[in-house]
Amino acid sequence: MPPVLERPFFNLSVVRTPLHGLVGQFAGLPPLVALRAENTALDFPAQGYQRGALPLLLWSPACDPGLTAVMPGVGSGDHFVLSYACERFGHDGVAVRSSTMADAEPINEFITYAGNRMQRAVRAMKDAPRWDFFQQGEPLPCEATHAYTARRVRDRLQREAVLDCLHAWGAPVREAAFWQSAQPAVTLVRGVPSAPASLG
């Protein structure tokens, strides 16, 4: 299992379009909201609730260059990437959040987008002190819907089911090559490149 998938918590989005095309669309937005790409190391952010040292990360999975994978910070506001990619630019996409039961605030969730709108959402989470289960949209063929009637809400959607749906959607996250890239990873930043320092 790739190390990211063994973390107590991870948050991942995947967009069905190549990386270079997606960053070009962000660069083409109106000046006040346009974003440019900067190359960055393929280091996966820790995704705590505070902005960490590693930036928003976008990369082209080596196993499928037709996809763009996105790892945002949890509390950083980086989730606009998937919203713009799917609801404004019209790409298909999927977003997941997944915790182990050892996490202080466990959640397992997947959301799919198609046709400029959200298509399907399923979530089981602990909203202290109780567990909550939510679903919207028509079930997808990958879903184990029989589990949604489990007495314990926490059992209705767990990490393995989330990973199964990612795979069925077309994101082979269990493959090591998904977490590698043949081209530089990027982050998105606002503004124009800074001027080079003066040597005089």
For 139-156, the pLDDT digits (tens) are 999 999 999 999 999 999
Average pLDDT, the chain: 89
Q: Could you tell me which residues are beta bridge partners of residue 15?
A: 68, 93
* pTM for this entry: 0.90
Q: 194: pLDDT confidence band, cut at 50, 70 and 90?
A: very low
Residue 200 falls inside a structural domain: no
Q: 74: pLDDT confidence band, cut at 50, 70 and 90?
A: low
Residue 195 falls inside a structural domain: no
Helix then strand then coil, in percent of the chain rounded to 5, is 20, 30, 50
Residue 147 falls inside a structural domain: yes
pLDDT in tens, 77-136: 677 899 999 999 999 999 999 998 777 789 999 999 999 999 999 999 998 789 999 999
Residue 178 has pLDDT above 90, yes or no: yes
Residue 137 falls inside a structural domain: yes
Cα 137 to the chain's mean position, in Å? 20
Distance CA 159, CA 71 (A): 17
Q: 61: pLDDT confidence band, cut at 50, 70 and 90?
A: very high
Domain that holds residue 170: 3-189
Give the model's pLDDT for residue 39: 96
Residue 181 falls inside a structural domain: yes
Residue 194 falls inside a structural domain: no
**Which of 142, 4, 122, 124 has its CA nearest to residue 69?**
4
Distance CA 178, CA 8 (A): 20
Number of folded domains in the chain? 1
Average pLDDT over every residue of 148-177: 97
